[in-house]
Amino acid sequence: MHKIVKSFLDEVGKRNQNEPEFMQAVTEVAETVIPYIYQNEIYYGQNILLRMVEPERVVSFRVAWIDDQEEIRVNRGYRIEMNSAIGPYKGGLRFHPNVNLSVLKFLAFEQIFKNSLTTLPMGGGKGGSDFNPKGKTDTEVMRFCQSFMTELFRHIGPNRDIPAGDIGVGSREIGYLFGQYKRLKNEFTGVLTGKGVSWGGSLIRPEATGYGVVYFVEKMLEQKNLNFKDKKVSISGSGNVAQYAAEKVTSLGGKVITMSDSSGFILDKDGIDAEKLNFLMKIKNIDRERISKYAEKFPSATYFQNRTPWRVGCDIALPCATQNELQLVDAKSLIKNGCICVGEGANMPTTSDAISLLIEKKILFAPGKASNAGGVAVSGLEMAQNSLRYNWSREEVDSKLKEIMNEIHNSCVKYGSEKNYINYVKGANIAGFVKVADAMIAQGVV
Ligand code: NDP
Ligand code: 2IT
């Protein structure tokens, strides 16, 4: 089996040179799904995985815009339309200077499996730009978004491809993007998710990814008759996902001791309670400031520059910042300090060797495509509400989100159960694969 997997990866690697993040995501799926294909005749001989790793379409385009000094700037925009077997392309847009084809292809590939796991009819896609919103004024961000959408609008649509937010794309950016789409098409449609509630957005969408991660981890802990009460929780990141994961952990009785940004992390030994989190949300979302301000305000906190939080002892770790932020040395340190569970809020935050170690040591480990699927799931619910021309209440959306996270957990258990251990990586990959593969077989060679 090892040889078969290797020869598949060699073939894909040759066609996708210099795309390390994409190959990392493909490798993780291939190692768990290829053995399954060999045990299940209906998938064998169909080259399904080889078809799945090839995007249905990749769009790359110039984004020219004028900054406040009236200088002409040029960025690169992308949309990866990866797989539409079970629904229209669906996935976020990332604005970050390290965005390139490899990063977006890994994200689009993971999105196929994640969206399949949500139980909702959504295909996989992702897009974005190497534009850096940091330090830009609102008018610069608006001009960039308008220029970006002026090309993107011809490739997307409510039944074709529905983008949303990701790193660097929040409610401000979605607003500017939606405004420009509506103007160009002269149509008010649910072409983006993460919209404001007064113009077609869903309640709970801002909270959904962070809440979903915590609901998923709650289910994992339940398997061991454990819960969040009095657990020390280390979170990385301080953006959308991290903030609402922290809020939910605290509301369930856990103590959030760390959060971070790309400059460093803060350790608050007394815990980041609801009031302190409010302050953090203000500095990150409104002032667009650095997390070090938190330690300046609260004496119980210490700031560690250019460091990640994983050397601090905790019971549960929730990496919610970016890819490959939790490495082998970090996993070793977490295990040594007694960590029992790692739940990914970000996409692929844990390196492959770190995942192998966590699984070998039988630490509860949730891969992002399962545990962070709550965001895109509520995006799916936003699309459903847009089609119904109706809005559900907070309680209705939250209870549907919980139900979906529960279903995803059940799917992981179904396909990932091993002797005395649930391998959530294997479970999520196979469960996500089966639904898409069945649809691809039914639809013929396209
Ligand atoms: P935000 O832009 O709101 O926040 C990102 C956070 O991660 C910030 O604290 C940022 O720090 C930090 N960060 C970004 N890049 C790096 C880096 N290279 N090194 C260290 N820290 C970094 O994004 P989100 O919270 O939306 O996204 C976080 C993760 O969750 C991403 O992996 C995303 O793909 C994933 N995700 C998001 C979903 C969503 O609905 N938003 C859904 C599912 C997954 P700084 O402020 O310094 O930039
Ligand atoms: O990675 C992700 O799942 C997201 N950024 C959310 C995608 C979406 O369409 O809501």
Amino acid at 397: V
Verify whether ligand 1 is closer than 6 Å to residue 372 (CB atom): yes
Q: Looking at the structure, do residues 44 and 117 belong to the same domain, yes or no? A: no
Instruction: Kindly report the backbone phi and psi dihedral angles of residue 243, in degrees, each rounded to the nearest multiple of 5, phi listed first.
Output: -60, -45
Q: Say if 337 falls within a structural domain.
A: yes
Q: Write the residue with the smallest CA distance to atom 35 of ligand 1.
A: 346
CB of 350 closer than 6 angstroms to any ligand 2 atom:
no
Residue 269 in any domain: the answer is: yes
276 vs 332: CA distance, rounded Å:
30
Query: Is 435 a member of any domain?
Result: no
**CA–CA separation, 405 and 378 (whole Å):** 11
Tell whether 263 and 351 lie within a shared domain.
Answer: yes
Which residue among 109, 129, 236, 240 is best mutated to probe the pocket of ligand 1, counting the most ligand atoms within 8 A of its Cβ?
240
What CATH number should be reported for the domain holding residue 119? 3.40.50.10860
The pLDDT value given to residue 153: 98
Pocket lining: 209 vs ligand 1, CB cutoff 6 Å: yes
Last residue of a domain, one of 336, 369, 402: 369
Strands 232-236 and 161-164: unpaired
Residues of the chain with pLDDT under 70: none
> In this structure, are 256 and 355 located in the same domain?
yes
Q: Cα separation of 263 and 204, whole Å?
A: 29
195 lines ligand 2 (CB under 6 A): no
CA distance 169 to 92: 8
pLDDT digits (tens, 9 = 90+) for 325-371: 999 999 999 999 999 999 999 999 999 999 999 999 999 999 999 99
Query: Does residue 427 belong to any structural domain of this protein?
Result: no
Task: Give the active site residue among 114, 126, 219, 231.
Answer: 126
Span from the CA of 140 to the centroid of ligand 1 (angstroms): 21
Do 88 and 227 lie in a common domain?
no
Query: In this structure, is residue 290 part of a structural domain?
Result: yes
Residue 114 annotated in active site:
no
Let me know whether 47 and 76 are in one domain.
no
> Domain for residue 420, yes or no?
no
Pair 80, 222 in one domain: no
Distance in Å, CA 379 to ligand 2 centroid: 8
Q: Residue 201 has what pLDDT?
A: 98
How far does residue 237's CA lie from ligand 1's centre (Å)? Answer: 6
**CA-based end-to-end distance of the chain:** 28
Same domain, 258 and 157: no
Task: From 273, 286, 224, 230, select the one nearest 254 (Cα to Cα).
Answer: 230
List Cβ neighbours of 227 (8 Å cut-off, separation of 6 or more).
218, 221, 252, 253
Q: Which long-range contacts (CB under 8 A, 24 or more apart) does 326-330 make?
A: 326/236, 326/350, 326/351, 326/354, 327/351, 327/353, 327/354, 328/353, 328/354, 328/357, 330/354
Best CA proximity match to 180, nearest among 148, 137, 225, 132: 148
Q: How far apart are CA 280 and CA 13, in angstroms?
A: 42
Provide the token pair at 373: 């699927």
The answer to whether residues 79 and 39 belong to one domain is no
Per-residue three-class SS string for 217-256: HHHHHHCCCCCCCCCEEEEECCCHHHHHHHHHHHHCCCEE
Task: Please name the amino acid found at residue 210.
Answer: G
319 contacts 259 by C-beta, under 8 angstroms? no
Closest alpha carbon to 32 in 391, 389, 346, 433: 433
**Domain end among 343, 369, 395:** 369
Q: DSSP for 21-32?
A: HHHHHHHHHHHH
Closest CA to 391 of 200, 212, 208: 200
Q: Which two tokens stand for residue 392?
A: 């559900």
Tell me which amino acid residue 299 is: P
- The domain of 29 spans 2-52
Closest Cα partner for 263 from 297, 287, 238, 245? 238
* Residue 15 and residue 144 in one domain: no
Is the CB of 168 within 6 Å of ligand 1? yes
> Does the beta carbon of 166 sit less than 6 angstroms from any atom of ligand 2?
yes
* Torsion sign across C-alpha atoms 380, 386, 392, 393: positive
| Domain containing residue 281: CATH number | 3.40.50.720
Last residue of a domain, one of 369, 393, 426: 369
In terms of domains, do 78 and 220 share one? no
Query: Are 41 and 65 part of one and the same domain?
Result: no
Q: What is the pLDDT of residue 116?
A: 98
Instruction: Assess if residue 326 is contained within a domain.
Output: yes
Is residue 265, in this structure, part of any structural domain at all?
Answer: yes
Model pLDDT, residue 401: 98
Structurally, the chain folds into a number of domains equal to: 3
Q: Is residue 66 located within the same domain as residue 43? A: no
